[in-house]
A and B are shown apart, each in its own frame.
Chain A
Amino acid sequence: MAFSTPAVKLGDHLRPAIASVISLTLLTGCIFPLVLFALGRLLYPGQAAGSLITRNGVAIGSRLIGQDFTRPEYFHPRPSAAGTGYDGTSSGGTNLGPSNPKLIEDVRQLAEDYRRRNGLPPDASVPIDAATRSGSGLDPHISVANAALQVPRVARARGVSEDAVRRLLAEHTEGRQLGFMGSPRVAVLDLNLALDQAAPSTAR
C-alpha cells in the first residue's frame, strides 16, 4: 500500500529541497523581476515609474494616486483614512463596521461638511462617495453625481460660467471600461489640472 515503500531516507530528499528552493528563488525572485523590469522600462516607462505628472519640470502628483484638495476653486476628492488624509505612504480604510456608532457619526459629520462647503440645504441628499472613505484612502476618483454637485462652487470661485465647468467635467468623465467593467467616474486631479489650464483661478 501507499506507505509501505521501504527505506525512505530523509537525506536523499533534503538535497533537492534545498537546491530547488535556492535555484527557483533565483529564477522567480531575481531573474523574472529583472526581465519584467527591462520590458516595463522599454514598453511603458511612464507607468513603470508610477504615472507621475510633471508641470514645469516639477512632479505634482500621480495620475493614479488621489490628492487632497480643500480650496473652493478645485473639485474635492472623497474623504480619506490614509494617515492624516491622502498620505501616500500609509494606505488603508477606516475598517469601521456598519453597526459601529462611530461610522454613523463620521458619515453624518462628513455629509454635513459637504453640504456646507457646497452651499446645499441641510436636508439635501449627499452622494454616498462624498461622505464615506475609500478602502485605500487614495481613491483618485469621485462619482459623477458628486462632481456635478460641486460645479456651482467651483464656477463661482473661479469666476467662470457653470456651463464652462460642466463642459470640462463632461470631457473628464470616464465611462465603464470596455463598456461593462467597474463604474463611471471622474479623476479629480486630472479635472483640476484641466481647470487650471482652461480657467486660471482668480481667487488666489
Chain B
Amino acid sequence: MRWLEYIVFLALVVGLARPVGLYLARVFERKPTFLDPALRPIESLLYRLWGVRSDQEMSAGVYTLCFLLFSAVGTAGLFLLLLAQRWLPGGPADRYLTTPMTPDLAANTAISFSTTTTWQAYGGETTLRYLAQLFGLVSQNFLAGAAGLAVGIAFIRGFARERSATVGNFWVDLVRALLWVLLPLTLVGSLILIGQGVPLNLAPYTEVHTLEGGVQTIARGPVAALEFIKNLGTNGGGFFNANGAHPYENPTPLVNFLGLLAIAVLPASLTITFGHIAGRPRAGWVLLAVMVVLFVGGLAVCDFAEAAPPRLSDLHVSGANMEGKEVRFGIGGSVLAAVVTSNGATGSYNSMLDSYQPAGVLVPLVNMLLGEVVFGGLGTGLQSMIMIALIAAFLGGLMIGRTPEYLGKKITAAEARLTVLYALLTPKVVLALTAVGLATNAGRAGLATNSGTRGFTEVLFAYASCMANNGQSMAGLSANSVFYNATTAAAMLVGRFGLAALALALAGRFAAQRRSPTTAGRCPAIPPRSEPWSSGRSCWWGLCVSCPPWRWARSRRRCGTEMGNWRLQIAD
C-alpha cells in the first residue's frame, strides 16, 4: 500500500510535467493564456505603480541587482514588522506567547522567510501574532517563491538565447510568477485544504471542556492562508511548532498528498519548460528522468529504514518506527514527505526527523547536500541540476580532449569556473560552519536533546538545511540562540544570493554566446545516452565534495573505467 502511494505520486508528478511545463513557458514568454483577461489589467497597473517599463530587458548583472534589492527590501520590512509585532492587535493572548521576539530571532526569521528557507528557530503558536504571520510570513512565502522562480527562468533564457546581452526583466518575471502561477493555484489549493479541515480564522486560542472534565486550550488562527503557499513556493515554514505534523496544518492524508504534489510539480515541470524554451525538448526530459532515478533511490532507502522493525522491538513493541510520526500518515505518508520536502527545498516535514533511524535521516541529509537537484526548489532546483550536467559535460570534454558543450553552448574556462564555484560553495560553507558549531561552546550548547553521533548530525543537518534554503531541522537542536541565529542566517544568505548570483552570471555568459551547431567532431554531452553518467556523476560529485574522506577513496583506476565508459558512449 505504501508503494502504491509512492507510485501514484510519482506518476502524477511526471504526468503533469508536460502540461504544466508548457503553461509555464507560455507565461514567461508572455504568450496569451486563459487567465489573461483577468490578470493583464492588474499586471499593467503594477508596472505603472512601480515605474517599470515592461518591454525593457536587463543584463544578467542588472537582473541580479534587482533580485538583490527586492530581497533586501523584503527582508528589512519583515524584520521591522517582527520587531513591532507586540503592538499588533488581535490573536493569541500575551500569556501564550512565551518566546520573546528578540532582535537576533527577528533578523534570523526575516532572512529565513525572504530566502524561501523558512528555517524556524521559534514555535509559531508560542511566538507570533496572527497579523505578523499574515502580513509578514504569508506575503514573503509568495514573494520569495516568485523571485526564485523568476531567477530560474532567467537562467533558462541563458541557454535559449544567442548573442543576447539580456536575460529578461526581473519585475516582469516576478509579477508573472505571482499572478499567473502562484496566486491562482494557491487560491484553489487553499480552499480544498479548508474543506479538509485546515482552519482559517482570526479568533483567539479557544478553551474547550474535555469529556473527562478537564480544560484544553487549542491554538488556532489563519492557518489555511499559509498552508498551501508554504509548499507551492517551496518555503515550508509552519504555522505551528510541529509544522506538517500538526493536525490543523495537515489534517488528512489527502492534504498531505496535495501538499507534497504542490512542492514537486512546478519544479519538475520546469525541466520541460527549460527544454521547450531552449528549443531542445529532449534535454528537458533527460533532466526529469535523472531526477526520477535519484528520487526513487532516496525513497527506497528511507522507506527501508523506517519500515523495518526498530531497535525498540526488543521491548515487545510491535510495528515500524512511529516515534515522532502521526498515525494518519503512517510510515508511507511520513517517508514520502521526508523525501519530497528534503528534495524540494521545503521545510514542511510531517514527522520528526530527529527520531528517524540513522539511514532514514541520511536520505534527507544527502538530498540537501546534493543541492536539492531532485525537482528541487522553485527555480533553484533546475538551476542546480543543470550545473551538475555542466560539470559532467566539462569533465567528459576534458577526458576526450574536446571543448565541452551543453546544448550548443561552449563551456570554456570562465564558465567552468563559475560552475565549479557553484558546486563547491555548499560543501565549503556547510562544513566550515559545522566545524565552528561543534568546536565552540555556544554551538555545543544547542545539543539539548541528543548527544554523540545524533548531536553531530543535528548540527550538520542544520547548516545543510539552511545553505540549501530548505529549512527543515532535526528539532532536538535548540537553535534559538544568538550563535545559531547568526550562523544559520549567514548560511541562508550565501545559499540564496551567492548561488543565484553565480547562476545568473553564467546565464549572462551563455546568452551572449553563439550556439554552435552539433557536428560529428564535437562533444555534445547529455541526451540521451549519457544520462546514467549525469545521474551517477551528480551523486558522486555531491558526496565527494561533502565528505572529504571519500575524495581519497576515489582511485585512479575508477576514473579510468569511467573514462572508458564515456568514450564508449560517445563512440556509439
Contacts and interface: CB of A to CB of B under 8 A. Distances in A.
Interface in A9-33: 10, 13-25, 27-30, 32-33
Which size class do A's interface residues fall under?
35 or more
Interface stretch (B280-288, B291-299, B388-396, B507-515): B507-515
A15 B52 CA distance: 9
Contacts of A8: 61-62, 65
A189 B326 CA distance: 16
A25 B135 contact: yes
B311 interface: yes
Interface in B171-205: 171, 174, 178, 183, 186-187, 190-191, 194-203, 205
A196 B211 contact: yes
Interface in A120-141: 123-129, 131-141
Given A20-B174, A25-B135, A129 B329 contact: no
B142 A96 contact: no
B446 to A, nearest CB: 12
Interface in B147-161: none
Contact of A33 (B74, B138, B332): B138
A30 B5 CA distance: 36
B66 A177 contact: no
A128 B57 CA distance: 59
Contacts of A133: 323-324
Contacts of B208: 52, 59-62
Contacts of B452: 99
Contacts of B5: 180-182
A189 B512 CA distance: 65
A36 B142 contact: no
A92 interface: yes
A92 to B, nearest CB: 5
Contacts of B431: none
B476 interface: yes
Given A5-B61, A5-B165, A99-B454, A88 B218 contact: yes
Interface residues of B, number: 128
Given A8-B61, A40-B194, A139-B247, A21 B1 contact: no
Interface stretch (B43-51, B83-91, B435-443, B522-530): B43-51
Contacts of A16: 50-52, 66, 171
B247 A95 contact: no
B312 A107 contact: yes
Nearest to B334: A135
Interface stretch (A66-74, A151-159, A161-169): A66-74
A63 to B, nearest CB: 7
A33 B222 contact: yes
Given A29-B136, A32-B187, A35-B187, A47 B196 contact: yes
A182 B330 contact: yes
B217 A88 contact: yes
A170 interface: no
Contacts of A129: 319, 322, 327
B205 A142 contact: no
Nearest to A51: B197
Contacts of B247: 64-66, 136, 138-140
A92 B69 contact: no
Given A16-B66, A51-B197, A129-B327, A104 B312 contact: yes
Contact of A135 (B126, B324, B357, B505): B324
A143 B329 CA distance: 11
A95 B242 contact: no
A190 B111 CA distance: 42
B354 A97 contact: yes
Contacts of B195: 43-44, 47
Interface stretch (B253-261, B269-277, B563-571): B253-261
Interface of B: 1, 4-5, 8, 46, 49-52, 59-62, 65-66, 69-70, 72-74, 77, 92, 96, 123, 125-126, 134-136, 138-139, 141-143, 165, 167, 171, 174, 178, 183, 186-187, 190-191, 194-203, 205-212, 214, 216-220, 222, 224-225, 240-242, 245-248, 251-254, 256-257, 310-312, 315-333, 350-352, 354-358, 449-450, 452-454, 474-476, 505, 507-509, 511-512
Interface of A: 1-5, 8, 10, 13-25, 27-30, 32-33, 35-37, 39-40, 43-44, 47-52, 58-71, 74, 78, 82, 86-100, 103-104, 107-108, 111, 123-129, 131-143, 145, 176-178, 180-183, 185, 189, 192-193, 196
23 contacts: A8-B65, A17-B73, A30-B134, A30-B139, A32-B142, A36-B194, A51-B251, A61-B208, A64-B248, A87-B217, A88-B216, A91-B240, A93-B242, A93-B245, A94-B324, A97-B454, A125-B317, A128-B321, A129-B327, A136-B326, A181-B254, A182-B330, A182-B332
Given A36-B187, A89-B126, A140-B247, 7 more contacts: A23-B46, A25-B139, A32-B138, A99-B450, A99-B454, A136-B247, A183-B328
